[in-house]
Chains A and B, each alone.
Chain A
Amino acid sequence: MIRVTRKYCFSASHRLHAPALSDARNRELYGKCNNPFGHGHNYELEVSVRGPLDVRLGRVLDIRLLDDLVRSQVLEPFEHRNLNEEVAEFRAVVPTSENLGREVIRRLKQNWEAVFPGRWPRLERVAIAETSRNRFEVLSHEID
């Protein structure tokens, strides 16, 4: 088995605010990230795929297929968007990097079979870095 990882970038804004909590508690919990006007990041996204080598072609997958899938399902919907207001899933879910990672996995898994119909390759993980100082990794099997 070999794991292939591709890095992508997108820029988007968000605001961390949990509606179930008071404004004061939100400010205390999320600090600057609770600013009502929102703020933005240059997100870095890693997508890792695992599979056996196709010996004839010397590869685990045609990386262009993964690029197209990530572009249509994640980059285009997220790029230069206000995640809270323009991505439906984040109307009710706080767009933390944890939840962003889960949503990316969900979107890729929902469309995986159409692009990769066989048993392999499989989506293994995604990693989201809001800034270069942090990274959030979600494993594919953690998400239905």
Chain B
Amino acid sequence: MLITRKVDFSASHVCRLPALSDEANRALFGAGANPRGHGHNYVLEVTVEGTPDSVTGMVMDMKFLKQILDREVVEIYDHRFLNHEIAPFDHVIPTPENIAIDIWNRLHPHLAGARARLHAVRVYETPDLYVDYFGEAA
């Protein structure tokens, strides 16, 4: 069974390669390359796979999942300039793809139990663009 919890955070970022000129970055990343940065209201959906406990009827306590998401992601990412304040984005471009991978890496150690396992991380950068990451194996 799959269960999904949604949270959001707002952050700024810039998509650029420091080795390239402003012009080359603009050609590659468009408006996202503005060196001063810009921001989004990110929406994060985290899906956990598991079997409901026969007594509680729950795969995992959603309150507990929410606490993990808040502690491991929202409190770290929210209202930050990702490139300047959050590792690994000092050297990894904070595209939605890389944000999804980083969030997976942060959550995976906490969601690897026998009953409930991290299944998917979905990051909406805007309402019309999202990425799904299912871990390295998928």
Contacts and interface: CB of A to CB of B under 8 A. Distances in A.
B97 A7 contact: no
B127 A5 contact: no
Interface stretch (B36-44, B63-71, B110-118, B128-136): B128-136
B4 interface: no
- Interface size class, chain B: 20 to 34
Interface string B95-138: 11110110000000000000000000000000111111110001
A2 interface: yes
Interface stretch (A17-25, A29-37, A51-59): A51-59
Interface residues of A, number: 17
A4 B127 contact: no
A2 B92 contact: no
A58 B97 contact: yes
The dominant DSSP class at the B interface is mixed
Q: Which of A1, A58, A59, A64 has the most CB of B within 10 A?
A: A58
Given A1-B134, A2-B133, A64-B30, A8 B15 contact: no
A3 B132 contact: yes
A53 B128 contact: no
B17 interface: yes
Q: Which of B17, B96, B97 has the most CB of A within 10 A?
A: B97
B28 interface: yes
Interface of B: 15, 17, 28, 30, 92-98, 100-101, 127-134, 138
